[in-house]
Structure 1
């Protein structure tokens, strides 16, 4: 949306000759990609254990400085 990038993931499948294609409507460009395996359309995510570690360290540092 006018310089912003949005990622929308949803279920559904329409057979197309390429794995990805672009559509253009007025000022919006949409890149559509399909896949056939579970988990192939996920974004980069932080592993839960790394997130838990970061939260623990942050909490520890906050309490040390009080």
Structure 2
């Protein structure tokens, strides 16, 4: 899956307003996903967003 398709497919926000709410939403969507693959796509997309946020924080410290 292309990196730019992750947000569109999983509907993850570019910048979550609060991390706990973002994580809770991702877990809820993954739990309700109709297939295991979709659940993994949602969880993976959320983890990718969190990794991007962490890298940005390190760069702009």
Larger Rg: 1
Larger relative contact order (CA 8 Å, sep ≥ 6)? 2
| Superposed pair shares fold, TM > 0.5 | no
| TM-score normalised by the chain length of structure 2 | 0.33
Higher helix share: 2
Higher strand share: 1
